[in-house]
Amino acid sequence: MNPPLRLVPAEPGLSRYASLAQALRARVVAGEWPPGSALPAESQLASEHSVALGTMRRALELLVEQGFIERIHGKGTFVRQGLAGASMLRFFRFDGGTGEVPLSRILQRSLVSAPAAVSRALGIGTGEPVLRLHRLRLMGGQPCLLEELWLPLDLFEPLADDDLSTWDDLLYPMFARRVQVHVHRALDDIGFAQLSATQARHLGLPAGHPCAQVQRSAFDLTGRCVELRTTRGDAHAFHYTVTIT
Amino acid sequence: MNPPLRLVPAEPGLSRYASLAQALRARVVAGEWPPGSALPAESQLASEHSVALGTMRRALELLVEQGFIERIHGKGTFVRQGLAGASMLRFFRFDGGTGEVPLSRILQRSLVSAPAAVSRALGIGTGEPVLRLHRLRLMGGQPCLLEELWLPLDLFEPLADDDLSTWDDLLYPMFARRVQVHVHRALDDIGFAQLSATQARHLGLPAGHPCAQVQRSAFDLTGRCVELRTTRGDAHAFHYTVTIT
Protein backbone atom coordinates (compact mmCIF):
# COMPACT_ATOMS: atom_id res chain seq x y z
CA MET A 1 0.00 0.00 0.00
CA ASN A 2 1.55 3.29 -1.07
CA PRO A 3 -0.66 6.20 -0.12
CA PRO A 4 0.29 9.54 -1.62
CA LEU A 5 2.30 11.92 0.49
CA ARG A 6 -0.08 13.70 2.86
CA LEU A 7 0.70 17.04 4.39
CA VAL A 8 -0.89 17.77 7.71
CA PRO A 9 -3.58 20.41 7.25
CA ALA A 10 -2.90 23.42 9.45
CA GLU A 11 -6.19 23.60 11.31
CA PRO A 12 -6.48 26.62 13.53
CA GLY A 13 -6.76 25.69 17.20
CA LEU A 14 -5.38 22.19 16.76
CA SER A 15 -1.81 21.40 17.72
CA ARG A 16 0.33 19.89 14.98
CA TYR A 17 0.14 16.39 16.41
CA ALA A 18 -3.62 16.63 16.99
CA SER A 19 -4.12 17.58 13.32
CA LEU A 20 -1.87 14.69 12.40
CA ALA A 21 -3.91 12.31 14.55
CA GLN A 22 -7.03 13.51 12.76
CA ALA A 23 -5.42 12.81 9.39
CA LEU A 24 -4.45 9.28 10.48
CA ARG A 25 -7.95 8.74 11.81
CA ALA A 26 -9.37 9.71 8.42
CA ARG A 27 -7.21 7.03 6.80
CA VAL A 28 -8.56 4.42 9.24
CA VAL A 29 -12.17 5.52 8.70
CA ALA A 30 -11.66 5.43 4.94
CA GLY A 31 -10.85 1.76 5.34
CA GLU A 32 -7.19 1.95 4.39
CA TRP A 33 -6.33 -0.11 7.49
CA PRO A 34 -9.27 -2.30 8.53
CA PRO A 35 -9.99 -3.12 12.20
CA GLY A 36 -7.43 -5.61 13.46
CA SER A 37 -4.82 -4.74 10.85
CA ALA A 38 -1.33 -3.46 11.62
CA LEU A 39 -0.28 0.12 10.94
CA PRO A 40 2.93 0.74 8.99
CA ALA A 41 6.09 1.47 10.99
CA GLU A 42 6.22 4.85 12.73
CA SER A 43 9.16 5.93 10.58
CA GLN A 44 7.24 5.14 7.39
CA LEU A 45 4.16 7.00 8.62
CA ALA A 46 6.33 9.98 9.61
CA SER A 47 7.85 10.11 6.15
CA GLU A 48 4.43 9.70 4.45
CA HIS A 49 3.11 12.68 6.40
CA SER A 50 6.41 14.64 6.23
CA VAL A 51 6.68 15.09 9.99
CA ALA A 52 9.37 14.38 12.56
CA LEU A 53 9.29 10.95 14.18
CA GLY A 54 8.55 12.54 17.58
CA THR A 55 5.48 14.33 16.21
CA MET A 56 4.20 11.08 14.67
CA ARG A 57 4.73 9.30 17.99
CA ARG A 58 2.67 11.90 19.86
CA ALA A 59 -0.11 11.64 17.28
CA LEU A 60 -0.15 7.84 17.65
CA GLU A 61 -0.20 8.20 21.44
CA LEU A 62 -3.28 10.39 21.11
CA LEU A 63 -5.01 7.75 18.97
CA VAL A 64 -4.15 5.12 21.60
CA GLU A 65 -5.70 7.34 24.29
CA GLN A 66 -8.79 7.76 22.13
CA GLY A 67 -9.08 3.98 21.86
CA PHE A 68 -8.64 4.09 18.11
CA ILE A 69 -5.50 2.01 17.88
CA GLU A 70 -3.63 -0.19 20.33
CA ARG A 71 -0.03 -1.18 20.81
CA ILE A 72 0.67 -4.84 21.31
CA HIS A 73 4.04 -5.26 22.96
CA GLY A 74 6.61 -6.75 20.63
CA LYS A 75 4.11 -6.95 17.76
CA GLY A 76 3.32 -3.43 16.66
CA THR A 77 0.44 -0.99 16.45
CA PHE A 78 -3.01 -2.18 15.37
CA VAL A 79 -6.38 -0.66 14.54
CA ARG A 80 -8.62 -1.73 17.41
CA GLN A 81 -11.00 -4.57 16.72
CA GLY A 82 -13.78 -2.80 18.57
CA LEU A 83 -15.46 -3.59 21.85
CA ALA A 84 -15.33 -7.28 22.65
CA GLY A 85 -18.00 -7.31 25.28
CA ALA A 86 -18.91 -3.89 26.70
CA SER A 87 -20.65 -6.09 29.20
CA MET A 88 -23.89 -5.00 30.83
CA LEU A 89 -22.49 -6.73 33.91
CA ARG A 90 -20.60 -3.52 34.60
CA PHE A 91 -24.00 -2.23 35.74
CA PHE A 92 -25.43 -5.24 37.53
CA ARG A 93 -24.42 -7.72 40.20
CA PHE A 94 -26.24 -10.99 40.34
CA ASP A 95 -26.13 -13.67 43.02
CA GLY A 96 -24.13 -16.59 41.79
CA GLY A 97 -22.46 -14.43 39.15
CA THR A 98 -18.92 -15.75 38.94
CA GLY A 99 -17.58 -13.55 36.18
CA GLU A 100 -18.76 -15.88 33.41
CA VAL A 101 -20.43 -14.61 30.23
CA PRO A 102 -24.22 -14.80 30.64
CA LEU A 103 -25.98 -17.26 28.36
CA SER A 104 -27.99 -15.66 25.58
CA ARG A 105 -31.44 -16.89 24.56
CA ILE A 106 -33.08 -15.15 21.58
CA LEU A 107 -36.77 -15.00 22.44
CA GLN A 108 -37.88 -13.41 19.21
CA ARG A 109 -36.34 -12.23 15.95
CA SER A 110 -38.43 -10.18 13.58
CA LEU A 111 -38.08 -7.96 10.58
CA VAL A 112 -40.00 -4.74 11.15
CA SER A 113 -40.34 -1.23 9.77
CA ALA A 114 -38.30 1.14 11.90
CA PRO A 115 -40.44 3.32 14.15
CA ALA A 116 -39.61 7.04 13.92
CA ALA A 117 -37.45 7.15 17.07
CA VAL A 118 -35.45 4.10 16.00
CA SER A 119 -34.87 5.33 12.44
CA ARG A 120 -33.80 8.71 13.77
CA ALA A 121 -31.28 7.17 16.16
CA LEU A 122 -29.97 4.75 13.52
CA GLY A 123 -29.83 7.46 10.88
CA ILE A 124 -32.02 5.59 8.40
CA GLY A 125 -35.30 6.53 6.76
CA THR A 126 -38.52 6.05 8.71
CA GLY A 127 -40.06 2.72 7.85
CA GLU A 128 -36.83 1.20 6.52
CA PRO A 129 -36.43 -2.43 7.55
CA VAL A 130 -34.67 -3.22 10.82
CA LEU A 131 -33.98 -6.45 12.62
CA ARG A 132 -35.57 -6.49 16.07
CA LEU A 133 -34.38 -8.97 18.66
CA HIS A 134 -35.74 -9.84 22.06
CA ARG A 135 -33.12 -11.60 24.07
CA LEU A 136 -32.93 -13.03 27.57
CA ARG A 137 -29.64 -13.41 29.36
CA LEU A 138 -29.18 -16.02 32.05
CA MET A 139 -26.59 -16.68 34.75
CA GLY A 140 -26.49 -19.96 36.63
CA GLY A 141 -29.72 -20.87 34.85
CA GLN A 142 -31.51 -17.79 36.24
CA PRO A 143 -32.91 -15.10 33.93
CA CYS A 144 -31.15 -11.84 34.81
CA LEU A 145 -31.40 -9.36 31.92
CA LEU A 146 -34.01 -8.76 29.27
CA GLU A 147 -32.92 -6.99 26.10
CA GLU A 148 -34.52 -5.46 23.06
CA LEU A 149 -32.18 -4.72 20.12
CA TRP A 150 -32.67 -2.84 16.86
CA LEU A 151 -30.20 -3.45 14.02
CA PRO A 152 -30.29 -1.77 10.57
CA LEU A 153 -30.98 -4.46 7.99
CA ASP A 154 -28.54 -3.12 5.39
CA LEU A 155 -25.70 -4.10 7.71
CA PHE A 156 -27.18 -7.17 9.40
CA GLU A 157 -29.08 -8.96 6.62
CA PRO A 158 -27.09 -12.25 6.93
CA LEU A 159 -28.37 -12.51 10.52
CA ALA A 160 -32.02 -12.08 9.55
CA ASP A 161 -32.86 -15.72 8.83
CA ASP A 162 -29.92 -17.93 9.73
CA ASP A 163 -30.02 -20.68 12.34
CA LEU A 164 -30.26 -19.01 15.76
CA SER A 165 -28.66 -22.01 17.43
CA THR A 166 -25.37 -21.01 15.80
CA TRP A 167 -25.38 -17.61 17.50
CA ASP A 168 -22.84 -16.80 20.18
CA ASP A 169 -23.58 -15.61 23.70
CA LEU A 170 -21.57 -12.45 23.00
CA LEU A 171 -22.95 -10.49 20.06
CA TYR A 172 -20.18 -7.99 19.26
CA PRO A 173 -17.49 -10.51 18.36
CA MET A 174 -20.16 -12.35 16.33
CA PHE A 175 -21.16 -9.13 14.54
CA ALA A 176 -17.48 -8.55 13.65
CA ARG A 177 -17.03 -12.10 12.34
CA ARG A 178 -20.33 -12.59 10.56
CA VAL A 179 -21.17 -9.17 9.15
CA GLN A 180 -17.93 -7.17 9.63
CA VAL A 181 -19.64 -4.68 11.94
CA HIS A 182 -17.15 -3.52 14.57
CA VAL A 183 -18.63 -1.77 17.57
CA HIS A 184 -16.08 0.81 18.54
CA ARG A 185 -17.89 2.96 21.10
CA ALA A 186 -21.08 2.70 23.09
CA LEU A 187 -23.12 5.33 24.88
CA ASP A 188 -25.10 3.93 27.80
CA ASP A 189 -27.89 5.93 29.29
CA ILE A 190 -28.97 4.66 32.71
CA GLY A 191 -32.37 5.24 34.23
CA PHE A 192 -34.90 3.53 36.47
CA ALA A 193 -38.35 2.29 35.48
CA GLN A 194 -40.88 -0.40 36.31
CA LEU A 195 -41.28 -3.74 34.56
CA SER A 196 -44.35 -4.36 32.44
CA ALA A 197 -46.21 -7.60 33.09
CA THR A 198 -44.56 -9.28 30.08
CA GLN A 199 -41.08 -8.07 30.93
CA ALA A 200 -41.53 -9.15 34.55
CA ARG A 201 -42.68 -12.64 33.52
CA HIS A 202 -39.51 -13.19 31.48
CA LEU A 203 -37.35 -12.12 34.40
CA GLY A 204 -39.33 -14.08 36.98
CA LEU A 205 -40.23 -10.92 38.88
CA PRO A 206 -43.60 -9.40 39.84
CA ALA A 207 -45.21 -6.94 37.40
CA GLY A 208 -44.37 -3.35 38.30
CA HIS A 209 -41.13 -4.40 39.97
CA PRO A 210 -38.49 -1.61 39.82
CA CYS A 211 -35.87 -2.09 37.13
CA ALA A 212 -32.71 -0.38 36.00
CA GLN A 213 -32.87 0.36 32.32
CA VAL A 214 -29.77 0.90 30.18
CA GLN A 215 -30.36 2.43 26.76
CA ARG A 216 -27.37 1.91 24.54
CA SER A 217 -26.39 3.44 21.23
CA ALA A 218 -23.41 1.60 19.72
CA PHE A 219 -21.21 3.14 17.02
CA ASP A 220 -18.70 1.83 14.52
CA LEU A 221 -15.39 3.46 13.60
CA THR A 222 -17.02 5.90 11.20
CA GLY A 223 -19.35 7.11 13.95
CA ARG A 224 -22.41 5.41 12.45
CA CYS A 225 -24.94 4.14 14.99
CA VAL A 226 -25.13 0.40 14.27
CA GLU A 227 -27.19 -0.84 17.22
CA LEU A 228 -29.84 0.39 19.62
CA ARG A 229 -30.37 -1.68 22.70
CA THR A 230 -32.49 -1.43 25.83
CA THR A 231 -31.42 -3.69 28.70
CA ARG A 232 -33.59 -4.16 31.77
CA GLY A 233 -32.70 -5.87 35.03
CA ASP A 234 -33.83 -5.93 38.64
CA ALA A 235 -33.14 -2.48 40.14
CA HIS A 236 -31.88 -4.14 43.31
CA ALA A 237 -29.11 -5.83 41.31
CA PHE A 238 -28.05 -2.49 39.83
CA HIS A 239 -24.71 -1.20 40.97
CA TYR A 240 -22.26 1.22 39.39
CA THR A 241 -19.17 3.06 40.57
CA VAL A 242 -17.93 6.39 39.21
CA THR A 243 -14.65 8.09 40.07
CA ILE A 244 -14.69 11.88 39.92
CA THR A 245 -11.45 13.87 39.75
CA MET B 1 11.83 27.58 49.02
CA ASN B 2 14.98 25.70 48.05
CA PRO B 3 14.40 21.98 48.10
CA PRO B 4 17.54 19.86 47.90
CA LEU B 5 18.46 18.39 44.56
CA ARG B 6 16.33 15.31 43.97
CA LEU B 7 17.38 12.53 41.67
CA VAL B 8 14.61 10.57 40.09
CA PRO B 9 14.51 7.07 41.60
CA ALA B 10 14.86 4.42 38.92
CA GLU B 11 11.77 2.38 39.64
CA PRO B 12 11.51 -0.76 37.57
CA GLY B 13 8.53 -0.71 35.24
CA LEU B 14 8.05 3.05 35.38
CA SER B 15 9.22 5.25 32.54
CA ARG B 16 11.58 8.05 33.49
CA TYR B 17 8.90 10.73 33.26
CA ALA B 18 6.39 8.64 35.22
CA SER B 19 8.93 8.23 38.04
CA LEU B 20 9.54 11.94 37.88
CA ALA B 21 5.80 12.63 38.09
CA GLN B 22 5.66 10.42 41.16
CA ALA B 23 8.49 12.40 42.77
CA LEU B 24 6.73 15.70 42.07
CA ARG B 25 3.51 14.28 43.43
CA ALA B 26 5.31 13.36 46.65
CA ARG B 27 6.42 16.98 47.01
CA VAL B 28 2.81 18.15 46.61
CA VAL B 29 1.50 15.58 49.10
CA ALA B 30 4.23 16.55 51.57
CA GLY B 31 2.75 20.05 51.50
CA GLU B 32 5.66 21.80 49.83
CA TRP B 33 3.20 23.42 47.38
CA PRO B 34 -0.27 23.73 48.95
CA PRO B 35 -3.45 23.45 46.84
CA GLY B 36 -3.89 26.59 44.78
CA SER B 37 -0.22 27.54 44.86
CA ALA B 38 1.96 27.94 41.78
CA LEU B 39 4.69 25.47 40.89
CA PRO B 40 8.18 26.84 40.16
CA ALA B 41 9.11 27.36 36.50
CA GLU B 42 9.63 24.18 34.45
CA SER B 43 13.28 25.03 33.93
CA GLN B 44 13.85 25.37 37.69
CA LEU B 45 12.05 22.08 38.36
CA ALA B 46 14.09 20.38 35.65
CA SER B 47 17.32 21.58 37.19
CA GLU B 48 16.21 20.62 40.73
CA HIS B 49 15.52 17.09 39.52
CA SER B 50 18.50 17.00 37.14
CA VAL B 51 16.43 16.07 34.09
CA ALA B 52 16.05 17.50 30.62
CA LEU B 53 13.36 20.14 30.16
CA GLY B 54 11.45 17.81 27.79
CA THR B 55 11.32 15.07 30.42
CA MET B 56 10.04 17.52 33.03
CA ARG B 57 7.37 18.72 30.60
CA ARG B 58 6.12 15.18 30.01
CA ALA B 59 6.01 14.53 33.76
CA LEU B 60 3.99 17.72 34.28
CA GLU B 61 1.64 16.71 31.45
CA LEU B 62 1.03 13.42 33.23
CA LEU B 63 0.16 15.25 36.45
CA VAL B 64 -2.26 17.46 34.50
CA GLU B 65 -3.93 14.34 33.06
CA GLN B 66 -4.17 12.89 36.56
CA GLY B 67 -5.92 16.05 37.71
CA PHE B 68 -3.16 16.84 40.16
CA ILE B 69 -2.09 20.16 38.73
CA GLU B 70 -3.59 22.52 36.17
CA ARG B 71 -2.17 25.00 33.70
CA ILE B 72 -3.78 28.39 33.63
CA HIS B 73 -3.02 30.07 30.33
CA GLY B 74 -0.65 32.99 30.71
CA LYS B 75 -0.37 32.48 34.48
CA GLY B 76 1.49 29.24 35.09
CA THR B 77 1.02 25.81 36.60
CA PHE B 78 -0.88 25.39 39.85
CA VAL B 79 -1.67 22.63 42.31
CA ARG B 80 -5.37 21.97 41.86
CA GLN B 81 -7.68 23.39 44.48
CA GLY B 82 -9.70 20.21 44.55
CA LEU B 83 -13.21 19.51 43.37
CA ALA B 84 -15.34 22.62 43.42
CA GLY B 85 -18.68 20.94 43.24
CA ALA B 86 -18.58 17.30 42.13
CA SER B 87 -22.26 17.93 41.84
CA MET B 88 -24.80 15.22 42.55
CA LEU B 89 -26.77 16.79 39.73
CA ARG B 90 -24.64 14.74 37.37
CA PHE B 91 -26.85 11.85 38.52
CA PHE B 92 -30.24 13.50 38.71
CA ARG B 93 -32.50 15.64 36.58
CA PHE B 94 -35.20 17.63 38.26
CA ASP B 95 -38.07 19.50 36.71
CA GLY B 96 -37.37 23.17 36.87
CA GLY B 97 -33.66 22.52 37.31
CA THR B 98 -31.97 25.34 35.42
CA GLY B 99 -28.36 24.56 36.15
CA GLU B 100 -28.34 26.56 39.38
CA VAL B 101 -26.66 25.29 42.55
CA PRO B 102 -29.31 23.65 44.76
CA LEU B 103 -29.99 25.42 48.05
CA SER B 104 -28.66 23.62 51.09
CA ARG B 105 -30.62 23.29 54.33
CA ILE B 106 -28.87 21.56 57.24
CA LEU B 107 -31.61 19.61 59.02
CA GLN B 108 -29.43 18.28 61.79
CA ARG B 109 -25.83 18.55 62.95
CA SER B 110 -24.61 16.23 65.66
CA LEU B 111 -21.40 15.01 67.22
CA VAL B 112 -21.50 11.23 67.46
CA SER B 113 -19.20 8.28 68.02
CA ALA B 114 -18.28 6.74 64.68
CA PRO B 115 -20.08 3.46 64.01
CA ALA B 116 -17.73 0.64 62.94
CA ALA B 117 -18.44 0.95 59.20
CA VAL B 118 -17.92 4.72 59.25
CA SER B 119 -14.68 4.58 61.23
CA ARG B 120 -13.37 1.85 58.93
CA ALA B 121 -14.11 3.92 55.83
CA LEU B 122 -12.69 7.11 57.35
CA GLY B 123 -9.64 5.27 58.67
CA ILE B 124 -10.17 6.37 62.28
CA GLY B 125 -10.65 4.35 65.47
CA THR B 126 -14.09 2.94 66.23
CA GLY B 127 -15.98 5.27 68.50
CA GLU B 128 -13.85 8.32 67.66
CA PRO B 129 -15.92 11.50 67.32
CA VAL B 130 -17.38 12.39 63.93
CA LEU B 131 -19.58 15.19 62.76
CA ARG B 132 -22.82 13.88 61.27
CA LEU B 133 -24.94 16.13 59.07
CA HIS B 134 -28.39 15.65 57.65
CA ARG B 135 -28.93 18.00 54.78
CA LEU B 136 -31.75 18.70 52.36
CA ARG B 137 -31.12 20.20 48.96
CA LEU B 138 -33.79 22.21 47.19
CA MET B 139 -34.30 23.47 43.67
CA GLY B 140 -36.92 26.03 42.83
CA GLY B 141 -38.15 25.68 46.43
CA GLN B 142 -38.75 21.92 45.98
CA PRO B 143 -36.85 19.37 48.09
CA CYS B 144 -34.90 17.16 45.69
CA LEU B 145 -32.02 15.42 47.48
CA LEU B 146 -31.59 14.17 51.02
CA GLU B 147 -28.04 13.70 52.30
CA GLU B 148 -26.32 12.20 55.29
CA LEU B 149 -22.66 13.16 55.76
CA TRP B 150 -19.96 11.87 58.11
CA LEU B 151 -16.89 14.04 58.70
CA PRO B 152 -13.91 13.17 60.95
CA LEU B 153 -13.84 15.67 63.82
CA ASP B 154 -10.05 16.09 63.87
CA LEU B 155 -10.32 17.83 60.49
CA PHE B 156 -13.70 19.53 60.81
CA GLU B 157 -13.82 20.72 64.43
CA PRO B 158 -14.33 24.44 63.52
CA LEU B 159 -17.58 23.41 61.78
CA ALA B 160 -18.95 21.56 64.81
CA ASP B 161 -20.61 24.46 66.57
CA ASP B 162 -20.44 27.58 64.42
CA ASP B 163 -23.45 29.46 63.09
CA LEU B 164 -25.10 27.26 60.42
CA SER B 165 -26.58 30.31 58.74
CA THR B 166 -23.06 31.24 57.60
CA TRP B 167 -22.67 27.95 55.69
CA ASP B 168 -22.54 27.93 51.92
CA ASP B 169 -24.74 25.91 49.58
CA LEU B 170 -21.63 24.21 48.18
CA LEU B 171 -19.65 22.41 50.86
CA TYR B 172 -16.31 21.64 49.17
CA PRO B 173 -15.27 25.24 48.55
CA MET B 174 -16.36 25.98 52.13
CA PHE B 175 -14.34 23.05 53.48
CA ALA B 176 -11.28 24.38 51.62
CA ARG B 177 -11.73 27.91 52.96
CA ARG B 178 -12.79 27.17 56.52
CA VAL B 179 -10.81 24.05 57.46
CA GLN B 180 -8.29 23.69 54.60
CA VAL B 181 -9.70 20.33 53.57
CA HIS B 182 -9.40 19.98 49.80
CA VAL B 183 -11.47 17.23 48.22
CA HIS B 184 -9.40 15.98 45.34
CA ARG B 185 -11.18 12.82 44.24
CA ALA B 186 -14.54 11.21 44.93
CA LEU B 187 -15.74 7.67 44.47
CA ASP B 188 -19.50 7.46 43.90
CA ASP B 189 -21.24 4.16 44.27
CA ILE B 190 -24.72 4.17 42.72
CA GLY B 191 -27.44 1.80 43.81
CA PHE B 192 -31.13 1.65 44.21
CA ALA B 193 -33.29 1.44 47.35
CA GLN B 194 -36.60 2.50 48.83
CA LEU B 195 -37.21 5.57 50.98
CA SER B 196 -37.94 5.09 54.66
CA ALA B 197 -40.95 6.95 56.01
CA THR B 198 -38.73 9.72 57.43
CA GLN B 199 -36.64 10.09 54.30
CA ALA B 200 -39.77 10.16 52.16
CA ARG B 201 -41.36 12.86 54.31
CA HIS B 202 -38.36 15.17 53.84
CA LEU B 203 -38.48 14.68 50.08
CA GLY B 204 -42.27 15.03 49.85
CA LEU B 205 -42.62 11.49 48.47
CA PRO B 206 -44.63 8.49 49.69
CA ALA B 207 -42.89 6.07 52.07
CA GLY B 208 -41.36 3.13 50.21
CA HIS B 209 -40.94 5.21 47.05
CA PRO B 210 -38.00 4.00 44.91
CA CYS B 211 -34.85 6.08 45.26
CA ALA B 212 -31.44 6.19 43.69
CA GLN B 213 -28.77 6.17 46.34
CA VAL B 214 -25.26 7.52 45.77
CA GLN B 215 -22.67 6.54 48.37
CA ARG B 216 -19.64 8.76 48.15
CA SER B 217 -16.19 8.50 49.63
CA ALA B 218 -14.24 11.73 49.13
CA PHE B 219 -10.45 11.88 49.37
CA ASP B 220 -7.88 14.63 49.83
CA LEU B 221 -4.54 14.91 48.00
CA THR B 222 -2.85 12.49 50.38
CA GLY B 223 -5.50 9.86 49.67
CA ARG B 224 -7.13 10.20 53.09
CA CYS B 225 -10.90 9.67 53.11
CA VAL B 226 -12.24 12.98 54.47
CA GLU B 227 -15.98 12.58 53.90
CA LEU B 228 -18.59 9.86 53.63
CA ARG B 229 -21.88 10.87 52.13
CA THR B 230 -25.09 9.12 51.18
CA THR B 231 -27.36 11.04 48.81
CA ARG B 232 -30.90 9.90 48.07
CA GLY B 233 -33.28 11.18 45.42
CA ASP B 234 -36.35 10.05 43.51
CA ALA B 235 -35.35 7.09 41.31
CA HIS B 236 -37.41 8.51 38.48
CA ALA B 237 -35.22 11.63 38.44
CA PHE B 238 -32.09 9.50 38.22
CA HIS B 239 -30.25 9.67 34.95
CA TYR B 240 -26.65 8.96 34.05
CA THR B 241 -24.72 8.52 30.81
CA VAL B 242 -21.58 6.43 30.39
CA THR B 243 -19.38 6.28 27.29
CA ILE B 244 -17.58 2.99 26.71
CA THR B 245 -14.62 2.79 24.34
- Chain A residues whose CB is inside 8 A of the B86 CB are 244
Helices (H), chain B: 16-29, 42-48, 53-65, 116-122, 153-156, 171-179, 197-203
Nearest to A244 among B185, B235, B245 (CB): B185
Q: Within a 10 A sphere around the Cβ of B199, how many other Cβ atoms?
A: 19
Residue type, A21: A
Mean pLDDT, residues B195-218 taken together:
96
Which whole number is the average pLDDT over A9-14?
53
- A11 domain-assigned: no
Residue A8 lies in a domain: no
User: Does residue B121 or residue A96 have the better pLDDT?
Assistant: B121
- In a 13 Å sphere around the CA of A75, the CA atoms on its Cβ side amount to 10
Domain interval for residue A61: 16-79
Q: Are residues B118 and B152 in the same domain?
A: yes
CB A203 within 8 A of CB A144: yes
CATH number at residue B39: 1.10.10.10
Instruction: Assess whether A170 and A70 both reside in one domain.
Output: no
pLDDT at A194: 94
Say how many domains are in chain B: 2
Query: B37: distance to nearest CA of chain A, Å?
Result: 18
CATH no. for residue B109?
A: 3.40.1410.10
- Residue A205 and residue A164 share a domain: yes
The pLDDT of residue A60: 93
Residue in A139, A136, A129 with CA at minimum distance from that of residue A94: A139
* B83 part of contact set with chain A, CB < 8 Å: yes
Instruction: Work out the mean pLDDT of chain B and round it to a whole number.
Output: 88
pLDDT digits (tens, 9 = 90+) for A33-66: 888 889 999 999 999 999 999 999 999 988 888 7
B241–A190 CB contact, under 8 Å:
yes
Set of chain B residues whose Cβ sits within 8 Å of the Cβ of A242: 187-188, 190, 240
Give yes or no: residues A51 and A20 share one domain.
Answer: yes
> Band of the pLDDT at B96, cuts 50, 70, 90?
low
Residues A35 and A129 in one domain: no
Is residue A220 domain-shared with residue A118, that is, in the same domain? yes
User: Could you tell me if A193 and A145 lie in one domain?
Assistant: yes
Whether the pLDDT of residue A143 is over 70: the answer is yes
Does some domain include residue A155? yes
Provide the pLDDT for residue A4: 46
Q: Does A185 fall in a domain? A: yes
pLDDT in tens, A175-207: 988 998 989 889 999 999 999 999 999 999 999
